[in-house]
Structure 1
Amino acid sequence: MKLQTARGTVGFEESGSGLPVVLLHGFPHDRTLWAAQLAAAPAGARMIALDLPGFGESDSAEVPSLDHWADWVVAALDALAIERAVIGGLSMGGYLAFALWRRHPQRILGLILADTRAGADTLEGQEKRVAMQAQVLKEGPGAIAAAMLPGMVGKTTRAERPRAVEYLDAMMRRASVEAIHDALDALRTRPDSTPTLATITVPTLIICGEEDVLTPVKESEAMHAAIADAQLALIPGAGHASCVEHPSAFNALLSGFVQARFP
C-alpha cells in the first residue's frame, strides 16, 4: 500500500489493531523484511512496516541522513494518525530508532532494537561504505546483494534454511541503485548513539541472533547494560536477519514484550 505524507509517498503494510508497532527495516531491505511479523501480529497490536526512503514503494528523501529520515518517519505517523508508537528497527532500522528517540522522544512508547549497535562507523567502515557506493554505481544492486548475503544470515540458516536465504537475496536485489547509494550516505555519516542509550526512558527489547557476525551479541549486551529499562533476548541459530531466519522465535519475543509491557 501507499501513504501520502508531508514528506512524499511512503510504501507500507499493516495488520492487526490496537497498540501501534512501527517496524523499520535494515539495509538494503524493504518492508517485506517484516512479512512474518505482520502475518503473526500479536493480539491488541497494530503492526505497521514502512519502506524507508527510496526503498520499495517509498519516495527518496530530500537529504540522505538519519536525522532527516527520523522526521520522515514522523510524517508517516502523522499521516497514519498515530500519536505515539512502539518503534522497532533491525540493523539500519535500529540506527534510525536512535535518531527518532533523539529528535522525537514524545512520539515513542517503547523500542525494539534488533541486530543493531549504538556506535558510529569506524574510519574503515566509512571507507567501505564509499567503496560500496562506487560498486553499486558500476555493477548494480546484484553485486551488493552478493557481497552482503554471506554476512546477512547465520551459519545455521545457510545450512538449513535455503528459502530464507533466497528470500533475502531477492529482496536486496530489488533495491534501486539510488536507494542503496543514499542509504550508504546516511549510514556513513550517522553519529555515535552510545551517549543516547542512557537517555532512553521507555521499555526496550533488544534482540540479537546468536550467530550475527555484522552486529555481534556483544553489541547488544553493551546496549542492554546502558539502557535502564531494557531486556535482552538472544535467538539461537539465527544471524543478522533474525526476523526472517527464525521468525517464530522473533515473533514470540515481540509478542511477549508488547503484551507484558503494554497491556
Structure 2
Amino acid sequence: MPTLHRADTVTTYDDHQPARNNSSPALLLVHGHPFDRSLWLPQAEHFATQGFRVVVPDLRGYGQSTGPAVTTLRDFTDDLIALADHLGLDRFVLGGLSMGGQIAMQTIADHPGRVEALLLANTFPSAETPEGKTQRRATATRVEQEGMPAYADELLPKMLSARTRTDNPQVTRHVHTMMRTTPPAGAAAALRARAVRPDYRRTLSDIRVPTLVTTGSEDEFTPVADAQLMHRLIPGSTLAVLEGAGHLPNLESAAEFNDVFGRFLHPLRREPDPQAEER
C-alpha cells in the first residue's frame, strides 16, 4: 500500500497503472464525506483497463491517511497537489464527488494549470448558509462525542436511493461500512472546514477545461437543480443525470456512470504512435 510521508502528514493512496502503455492523462479521483478511497474502486478498476492511470487517495483524516486536522478545504487541495508532484503528474483529470467535488473546485481555483479536465459529481458550489454552518458544527461535535455508527445509520437512507438499498445489498453494505469506520476526528474536522467554505460559483464561470457534471435523479443532498446550475455556469460543460441513483451513482449505477465518464474521457485518450515506436 503506497503512502506519501510529508512533514506530519501521511497520505495513503492506490495507484492503478494502465493495462497498456500510452500517454493518456492520469485520473486523480477524490472521495467525499464520510468515505475513503474505496468509493472509487469501480472506476479505478475499469479505467485502468481502458488505458488510464488512476490515482485514488484517502483524504487527510479519512481512511488510512493521517495528519493535522484540516481547517479549510485548501488543506485538502495542498495534499492533492503534493501527491501529484510526488507521482510526477504535471497535469491530470481531476474528479471529485460531493465534498470531493468542492475540493476539486478549490483545486482548480488555486491550480488551474494542473487540471486537464474536470468531473464534478453530486456536488454543489454555493457557500454554506448560516443554518448549515450551525448544523455542520453541531454534527462535528456529536461525532467526536458519540463516534460514527449512529451518524452512519442516519445517513445511509439519504446517501442511497430506495432502489439501491433494496436491489443492491453489496453496495449498501460497502457504503455503510465506509461511513461507520471513518475516523471521527477526521470527519469532524472536515465538517467544520466545509462550514466555512467559499462560494465557488465564480470559480465555475472561470473554468476553461472540459467538465462533466453528474448527479443522481434521486439525490437528496445535491438535487438535479444544483447540477443544472453548475452546468449553466461552466462554459461548454456536459451534464448527465443518472436515473434511479442517489448521492453515489458511481457505486449505485457503476456501469452507467463508467459509460458516461468514459465517453467524456474519450477525446482525451492519447494512444501511442506505432510508427514512432518503430523509429
Task: Report the equivalent of 2:16.
Answer: 15
Consecutive unaligned residues of structure 1, counting only runs of 5 or more, are none
1:89-136 Cα deviation digits (max 9, x unpaired): 000000000100111111110100000011121111111111111211
Task: Report the equivalent of 2:214.
Answer: 207
CA distance in 2, matches of 1:129, 1:262: 40
Equivalent pairs, count: 263
Task: Report the equivalent of 1:30.
Answer: 36
Q: Give the CA deviation at 1:84.
A: 0.6
Instruction: Give TM-score scaled by structure 1 length.
Output: 0.96
Q: Give the CA deviation at 1:171.
A: 0.6
After superposing on structure 2, the runs of 4+ consecutive aligned residues of structure 1 that deviate more than 2 Å are: 5-8, 60-64, 260-263
CA distance in 2, matches of 1:131, 1:145: 15
CA distance in 1, matches of 2:265, 2:68: 30
Task: Report the equivalent of 1:2.
Answer: 2
Q: Give the CA deviation at 1:170.
A: 0.4
Q: Give the CA deviation at 1:260.
A: 2.5
Task: Report the equivalent of 2:230.
Answer: 223
SS at structure 1 position matched to 2:62: coil
CA distance in 2, matches of 1:95, 1:262: 26
Q: Which structure 2 residues correspond to residues 79-90 of structure 1 after superposition, within 5 A?
A: 79-90=86-97
Q: Which amino acid aligns with 2:226?
A: E
Task: Report the equivalent of 1:246.
Answer: 253
Task: Report the equivalent of 2:176.
Answer: 169
Q: Give the CA deviation at 1:222.
A: 0.4
CA distance in 1, matches of 2:242, 2:148: 29
Stretch moving more, 163-172 or 9-18:
9-18
Q: Give the CA deviation at 1:29.
A: 0.3
CA distance in 1, matches of 2:170, 2:151: 19
Q: Which amino acid aligns with 1:41?
A: F
Q: Which structure 2 residues correspond to residues 127-138 of structure 1 after superposition, within 5 A?
A: 127-138=134-145
**Is the contact made by 1:61 and 1:69 (CA closer than 8 Å) also made in structure 2?**
no
1:140-186 Cα deviation digits (max 9, x unpaired): 01122112111101121122212211110001111011111111111
Specify the structure having the higher radius of gyration (Cα).
2
Task: Report the equivalent of 2:198.
Answer: 191
Q: Which amino acid aligns with 1:38?
A: A
Q: Which structure 2 residues correspond to residues 107-126 of structure 1 after superposition, within 5 A?
A: 107-126=114-133
Task: Report the equivalent of 1:148.
Answer: 155
Q: Give the CA deviation at 1:16.
A: 3.4
SS at structure 1 position matched to 2:75: helix
Stretch moving more, 34-43 or 114-123:
34-43
Task: Report the equivalent of 2:273.
Answer: none
| RMSD, aligned CA | 1.4
Task: Report the equivalent of 1:103.
Answer: 110
2:101 to 90, 94, 100: 94
CA distance in 2, matches of 1:3, 1:80: 11
Stretch moving more, 156-165 or 24-33:
156-165
Task: Report the equivalent of 2:21.
Answer: none
Consecutive unaligned residues of structure 2, counting only runs of 5 or more, are 19-23, 271-279
